[in-house]
DNA sequence: ATATTTTAGTGAGTATACTCATGGATTTCC
DNA sequence: GGAAATCCATGAGTATACTCACTAAAATAT
């Protein structure tokens, strides 16, 4: 049970001891270990691919026991999911924190969103191709549609929803506008697939595709405008 | 060993040899075993879900040794993939063999295609939800985008391509029309996701969604028409 | 400070997907 | 009909994701 905090009538033992930090050693250590796991795993995923990277190898590289990995992540795929959370959060922040986009047209915001995601993923292309996309398999718990990743998808879809409502103030919750954010997630996955296969310099084909398809899509949502 | 017994009788060896099935016992047996594996696996997937179904259980139910399963399917997921091959082939046939659709509008053909797929999957909804969709994970070899499932996707996309060219005789290989079949695969996956979450009677919401979105999509491909 | 409670790392253990050497059954060749 | 070649089911073995009982360290209470 939770211990009741009782007024320490005693003199405060400010005795933090010379070597003790104000932040508990434990909490501090946890953060560090989590980071070590993610860093080690990512490095291994990049070089050996997802399947060929063993949890034992991750633990070894992180300097911890194998079992410890599972004190932090429920499954090996959750480690990868953690990486994609950063990807999504980073892209959302990139759009939110860009003052120039405040009053930019919707398609520009969406372009920036997806573009940020792709930029983030670029250094890990091999890992993505080998593990994440190959990952869209039928029995995967981390999958793009999986329950495990649902929360991440919700965060993403919720943000897209915000952007839409912000740009289409007079939208009347039409079926289309309601479906649009969900659809956008699928659209993003398709784009990722395209991007992975895009061998044009600087992935310019993907960027062109993004530009065109977003204009088209947004114009469908704003039949009056233009 | 299989339970099949040899006829011990030597009474009419000549006759028996002469009338031995034209198809070797081996080939015949192989076909039967493959079928037994698929049937057993599917039944187990339905009741216990994909992950909780062990290959040992599949082998046991099929009456074979565990190793034998892997003489027929490279991975457990390949067994599921086999099931989806049937799903796709069946749907393609349903559209091809329906004379009424010969000169029907494109959206009707596409509607029938997807509808056939969903009808096929209906009895296995639990399995799909638990294993196949959950399957779109980041490390899966059978995945919707996976290399393993590529051929199946090609077959599907190729057929959609046929339908498009058939209905848009004067199409000029625009970027949009070239991408359309690929996009349709993604669209199908999204629809499947929608279908799985659709609790309306008879999945009518999904059907309505299909109807609307296909009309919309097709009209984008035929800007002149209408 | 000492005692008690809570937290979290450990690594041997478990479950299971998949491999492989073997030999018996089937087919082929004569 | 028999010998040689081929096929393929077998199941013990391997690799590895994940579990769990234990314990030591840290936090909290006395």
CA B118 to chain centre: 10
Element containing residue B137 per DSSP (H, E): strand B136-138
List phi, psi (to 5°) of B136.
Answer: -65, 50
Average pLDDT score over residue span B2-23: 41
Quote the CA–CA distance of A183 and A157 in Å, as a whole number.
Answer: 9
| Diameter of chain B measured on Cα atoms | 78
CA B37 to chain centre: 16
Flag the least confident range among A91-95, A168-172, A189-193: A168-172
- Among A81, A140, A153, A154, most B C-beta atoms within 10 A, so best to mutate, is A140
The pLDDT, as a whole number, for residue A224 is: 54
The pLDDT, as a whole number, for residue A51 is: 86
Q: At what angle do helices A76-96 and A106-121 cross, to 10 degrees?
A: 140
Residue B140 has pLDDT above 80, yes or no: no
For residue B65, give both structure tokens: 């040794």
Q: What residues of chain B, 18 to 57, have a C-beta less than 8 Å from chain A?
A: 50-51
Average pLDDT score over residue span A24-29: 88
B73 CA: nearest nucleotide by C1'? C18
Average pLDDT score over residue span A207-224: 81
- Among B44, B45, B139, most A C-beta atoms within 10 A, so best to mutate, is B139
In DSSP terms, B136 is beta-bridged to: A138
Average pLDDT score over residue span A156-185: 77
Of residues A179 and A225, more confidently modeled: A179
* Gap from A127 CA to D24 C1', Å: 38
Closest CA to B50 of B117, B148, B135: B135
Helix segments in B19-167, DSSP class H: 25-48, 55-62, 66-72, 76-96, 106-121, 125-127, 150-167
Which residue's entry shows tokens 């069946």? B90
Of residues B206 and A138, more confidently modeled: B206
Going by pLDDT thresholds of 50, 70 and 90, the confidence category of residue B216 is: confident
Average pLDDT, chain B: 80
Would you give the DSSP letter of residue A105? -
The pLDDT, as a whole number, for residue A128 is: 79
Q: What is the pLDDT of residues B83-118, one digit of tens each?
A: 889 999 999 999 999 999 999 999 999 999 999 999
B76 CA: nearest nucleotide by C1'? C17
Going by pLDDT thresholds of 50, 70 and 90, the confidence category of residue A221 is: confident
Residue B2 has pLDDT above 50, yes or no: no
Contact A139 B142 (CB under 8 A): yes
Would you give the DSSP letter of residue A95? H
Closest CA to A66 of A74, A78, A55: A55
Quote the CA–CA distance of A168 and A104 in Å, as a whole number.
Answer: 12
DSSP string, B27-63: HHHHHHHHHHHHHHHHHHHHHH-STT--HHHHHHHHT
Going by pLDDT thresholds of 50, 70 and 90, the confidence category of residue B135 is: low
The pLDDT, as a whole number, for residue A108 is: 97
Please provide the distance, in angstroms rounded to a whole number, between the alpha carbons at the two ends of chain A. 64
Of residues A95 and B85, more confidently modeled: A95
pTM check: above 0.75? yes
The CA-atom distances, in angstroms, between B207 and each of A63, A136, B116, B192 are 54, 25, 12, 11
* Residues B152 and B88 sit within 8 Å (Cβ to Cβ): yes
Average pLDDT, chain A: 80
């Amino acid at each position: 049970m939770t211990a009741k905090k009782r007024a320490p009538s005693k003199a405060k033992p400010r005795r933090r001891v010379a070597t003790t930090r104000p932040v508990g050693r434990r909490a501090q250590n946890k953060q560090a270990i989590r980071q070590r796991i993610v860093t080690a795993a990512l490095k291994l995923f990049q070089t050996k691919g997802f399947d060929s990277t063993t949890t034992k190898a991750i633990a070894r590289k992180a300097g911890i026991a194998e079992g410890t990995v599972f004190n932090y992540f429920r499954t090996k795929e959750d480690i990868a999911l953690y990486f994609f959370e950063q990807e999504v959060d980073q892209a959302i922040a990139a759009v939110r924190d860009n003052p120039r986009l405040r009053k930019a047209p919707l398609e520009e915001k969406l372009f920036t969103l997806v573009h940020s995601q792709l930029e983030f993923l670029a250094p890990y292309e091999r890992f993505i191709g080998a593990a994440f996309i190959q990952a869209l398999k039928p029995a995967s718990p981390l999958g793009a549609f999986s329950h495990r990743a649902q929360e991440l998808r919700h965060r993403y879809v919720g943000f897209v929803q915000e952007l839409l409502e912000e740009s289409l103030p007079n939208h009347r919750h039409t079926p289309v506008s309601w479906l649009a954010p969900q659809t956008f997630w699928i659209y993003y996955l398709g784009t990722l697939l395209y991007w992975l296969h895009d061998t044009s310099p600087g992935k310019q084909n993907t960027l062109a595709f993004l530009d065109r398809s977003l204009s088209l899509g947004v114009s469908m949502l704003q039949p009056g405008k233009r």
